[in-house]
C-alpha cells in the first residue's frame, strides 16, 4: 500500500509516531473536508424543514446511513446513529434490557470486555435481580468454545462480547457465541469498536442481534457512533430518549413513535459527524480491505518480532500475529506503564498506558495496568522502528540493567 501519512494532516509532522489508534484514530483530509463542506453547503435541521436546503441536510444524513449499512452488511433501517459505542450499548441496556431481562435471568459477559460493554449489564442486572456471569480467557488470552458452553445456558438472556478485545487484540469466537446464544433463545450484543477498523464486517451473515461501534476509532469524527439492531428487535423495543424527531405524533395525553431507526434518534442529531463517518467509510473502501489488512498484519508481525527481541518485555495474550488485530498490550519489567509512556513520548512515540477501561481483565491478568501500542492504516515501518528503538532504552534509562 502507498504511504498514507500525508492523507492525514496531523501526521504530516514526521516527528510524531502515533500508536494509539485503539483509543482514537486520526482523520484523513477528505473526512475533515466533508464535514466542512456539509456546514458550508448543506447545513439545516434535517427532517424539519420543507425548503430545499433542509432537504440537502436530510439527504446528507440518509446517504450517510446508507453508506454505513453497505459497509456493515445490513439494512439502513437497522442502523441507529448514536454518539459512540458506549451510548449504543446503553441504548440496548435501557430499552431491550428493561423489557427482556427479569429476576433470575442471566447475562453472560466476557471478562475482557471494555467497561462500556460490562457496566451497563451490571447495572441492569442489579436493577432487575438478574445475574451477570463472566466468561474467562484461557492461559493464551483466548475465549474458548468450552468456556462459552460453561456459561451460556437456558437462563441466559444476553451475551455481551467484543469481537476484538481492546487489550488483548485477539479475535473472539463470535460465530460460536452467536450459535450457542441463539440455541438458548438469548441475544448477542457484539462490541465492534475495535474490530470494525481492522476487518470487513457483514452483520447479516454473522447473524448477531446487536452491534455497537464508534466512528472516532474508524477515522471519523468524535461524537458519532452506530448501533446495529436486527429489525424485529429494534421494532419491538421501546424508545430510549424521547422528545423531538423520535415521534410520529404527540397529543396532550400521549405520543406515537416514529419508525425504526428514528424512534431512537431523539433531538437534533450530528449530521456533520454522520457526513464525516460516510467520508471515512468511503476512504476505507477506496483503500480496500485487502490492502488494509495486509498492511496492518505486516506492521503487527514486525512489531511483535521486534518486541520479542527486547529483554524484559511481556506481551499479553497470544503473541501470534495472525489472529491479532490492531493492538499489542505489554509491560516492561520493573517500570510502571506511565513511566514507559512518558519515556516514549520524549521520542514522539504516542502509546497508551493505564487500565484501558478493562479493570476486571487487568485483575485477571494480575497486572493492574499495562502499556498498549495500536495501529491504523497510516502507520509505517518507521513508526514501528521508532517505537522499538525507544522501548529498547526504557529499562536502562530508569536505571535497571537490561
Partner 1 sequence: MDLRAIYNQVITENSRSKEHRHPVEGCTCSLEGVNPSCGDDITLQLRVKDGVIEDAGFLGAGCAISQASASLMIDLLKGRTVEEAKRLIDTFFKMIKGEISPEELEELEDAAALQGIAHTPARVKCAVLAWHTMEEALDK
- Active-site residues: which are they? 357
Q: What does the DSSP 8-state code read for residue 195?
A: T
Contacted by 343, from Zn ion, partner 1, ligand PLP, none: CB < 5 to 8 Å by type: partner 1
Q: Which is nearer to Zn ion, 150 or 338 (CB)?
A: 338
383 with 17: CB under 8 angstroms?
yes
**Of 368, 380, 386, 385, the residue nearest 329 (C-alpha):** 368
Q: Which does 166 bind (CB under 5 to 8 A by kind): Zn ion, partner 1, ligand PLP, none?
A: ligand PLP
- C-beta closer to partner 1: residue 227 or 343: 343
For the CB of residue 339, give the shortest distance to Zn ion in the complex, in Å. Answer: 8
As a whole number of angstroms, the distance between CA 256 and CA 28 comes to 41
Site for Zn ion in 334-353 (CB under 5 A): 338
Among 254, 366, 399, 401, binds partner 1 (CB under 8 A): 399
Identify which range of 138-146, 206-214, 331-339, 374-382 contacts Zn ion by CB under 5 A.
Answer: 331-339
> What is the contact surface with ligand PLP in residues (CB under 6 A)?
84-86, 114, 116-117, 162, 166, 191, 193-194, 214, 216, 357
DSSP label of 246: S
By beta carbon distance, the residue nearest Zn ion is: 338
The reply on whether position 369 binds partner 1 by CB under 8 A is yes
Phi, psi (degrees; rounded to nearest 5) at 379 = -70, 155
Taking the complex as a whole, the smallest distance from the CB of residue 172 to ligand PLP amounts, in Å, to 11
Please enumerate in sequence order all residues whose Cβ is within 8 A of that of 250, keeping only pairs 6 or more positions apart, or say none: 256
Q: Which of Zn ion, ligand PLP, partner 1, none sits in contact with 114, Cβ below 5 to 8 A by type?
A: ligand PLP
Window 376-395: contact mask with partner 1 (x via CB under 8 A) = --------------------
Site for partner 1 in 335-364 (CB under 8 A): 335-339, 342-343, 345-346, 353-355
Cβ(250)–Cβ(243) below 8 Å: no
Of the pair 60, 192, the CB lying nearest ligand PLP is at 192
CA neighbor of 277 nearest in space, from 22, 114, 70: 70
Backbone φ and ψ of 210, nearest 5°? -130, 145
User: Whose Cβ is closer to ligand PLP: residue 82's or residue 100's?
Assistant: 82
Residue 114 C-beta: closest distance to ligand PLP, Å: 4
Cα-based distances in Å from 379 to 32, 53, 374, 394: 19, 39, 9, 22
Partners of 340 in the β-ladder: none
Closest by CA position to 331, among listed 25, 339, 350, 383: 339
Among 352, 328, 377, which residue's Cα sits nearest to residue 218?
A: 377
Q: How far apart are CA 265 and CA 294, in angstroms?
A: 37
| CA distances to 49, 83, 154, 240 from 269, in Å | 14, 9, 39, 14
Minimum CB distance to ligand PLP, residue 189 (Å): 11
Number of residues that bind Zn ion (CB under 5 A): 1
Nearer to ligand PLP, 223 or 306 (CB): 223
**3-state secondary structure at position 223:** coil
Cell digits for 88? 449504543
CB 113 → partner 1: shortest distance, Å? Answer: 19
For residue 402, the minimal CB distance to Zn ion (Å) is: 23
324 binds, among ligand PLP, partner 1, Zn ion, none (CB under 5 to 8 A by kind): none
- Distance of alpha carbon 25 from alpha carbon 3, whole angstroms: 16
Q: How far apart are CA 348 and CA 22, in angstroms?
A: 18
197 binds, among ligand PLP, Zn ion, partner 1, none (CB under 5 to 8 A by kind): none
Which residues make up the interface to Zn ion (CB under 5 A)?
Answer: 338
The binding site for partner 1 (CB under 8 A) comprises: 335-339, 342-343, 345-346, 353-355, 368-369, 397-399
Amino acid at each position: 500500500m502507498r504511504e498514507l501519512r500525508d492523507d492525514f494532516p496531523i501526521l504530516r509532522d514526521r516527528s510524531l509516531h502515533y500508536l494509539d489508534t485503539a483509543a482514537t484514530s486520526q482523520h484523513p483530509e477528505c473526512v475533515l473536508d466533508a464535514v466542512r463542506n456539509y456546514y458550508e453547503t448543506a447545513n439545516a435541521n434535517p427532517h424539519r424543514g420543507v425548503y430545499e436546503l433542509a432537504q440537502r441536510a436530510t439527504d446528507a444524513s440518509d446517504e450517510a446511513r446508507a453508506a454505513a449499512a453497505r459497509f456493515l452488511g445490513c439494512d439502513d433501517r437497522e442502523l441507529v446513529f448514536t454518539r459512540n459505542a458506549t451510548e449504543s450499548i446503553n441504548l440496548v441496556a435501557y430499552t431491550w434490557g428493561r423489557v427482556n431481562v427479569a429476576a433470575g435471568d442471566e447475562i453472560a459477559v466476557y471478562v475482557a470486555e471494555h467497561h462500556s460493554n460490562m457496566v451497563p449489564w451490571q447495572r441492569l442486572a442489579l436493577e432487575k435481580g438478574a445475574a451477570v456471569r463472566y466468561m474467562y480467557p484461557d492461559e493464551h488470552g483466548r475465549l474458548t468454545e468450552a468456556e462459552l458452553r460453561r456459561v451460556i445456558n437456558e437462563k441466559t438472556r444476553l451475551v455481551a462480547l467484543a469481537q476484538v478485545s481492546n487489550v488483548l487484540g485477539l479475535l473472539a469466537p463470535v460465530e460460536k457465541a452467536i450459535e450457542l446464544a441463539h440455541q438458548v433463545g438469548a441475544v448477542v450484543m457484539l462490541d465492534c469498536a475495535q474490530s470494525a477498523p481492522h476487518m470487513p464486517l457483514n452483520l447479516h451473515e454473522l447473524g448477531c442481534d446487536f452491534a455497537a461501534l464508534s466512528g472516532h476509532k474508524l477515522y471519523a469524527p468524535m461524537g458519532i457512533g452506530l448501533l446495529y439492531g436486527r429489525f424485529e428487535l429494534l421494532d419491538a423495543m421501546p424508545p430510549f430518549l424521547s422528545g423531538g424527531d423520535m415521534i410520529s405524533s404527540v397529543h396532550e395525553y400521549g405520543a406515537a413513535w416514529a419508525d425504526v431507526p428514528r424512534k431512537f434518534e431523539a433531538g437534533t442529531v450530528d449530521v456533520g459527524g454522520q457526513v464525516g463517518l460516510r467520508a471515512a467509510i468511503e476512504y476505507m473502501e477506496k483503500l480496500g480491505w485487502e490492502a488494509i489488512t495486509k498492511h496492518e498484519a505486516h506492521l503487527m508481525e514486525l512489531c511483535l518480532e521486534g518486541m520479542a527481541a527486547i529483554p524484559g518485555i511481556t506481551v499479553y495474550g497470544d503473541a501470534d500475529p495472525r489472529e491479532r488485530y490492531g493492538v499489542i498490550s505489554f509491560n516492561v519489567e520493573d517500570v510502571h506503564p506511565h513511566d514507559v509512556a512518558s519515556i516514549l513520548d520524549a521520542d514522539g512515540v504516542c502509546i497508551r498506558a493505564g487500565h484501558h477501561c478493562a479493570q476486571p481483565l487487568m485483575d485477571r491478568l494480575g497486572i493492574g495496568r499495562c502499556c498498549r501500542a495500536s495501529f491504523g492504516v497510516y502507520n509505517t515501518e518507521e513508526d514501528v522502528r521508532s517505537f522499538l528503538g525507544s522501548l529498547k532504552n526504557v529499562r536502562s534509562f530508569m536505571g535497571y540493567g537490561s
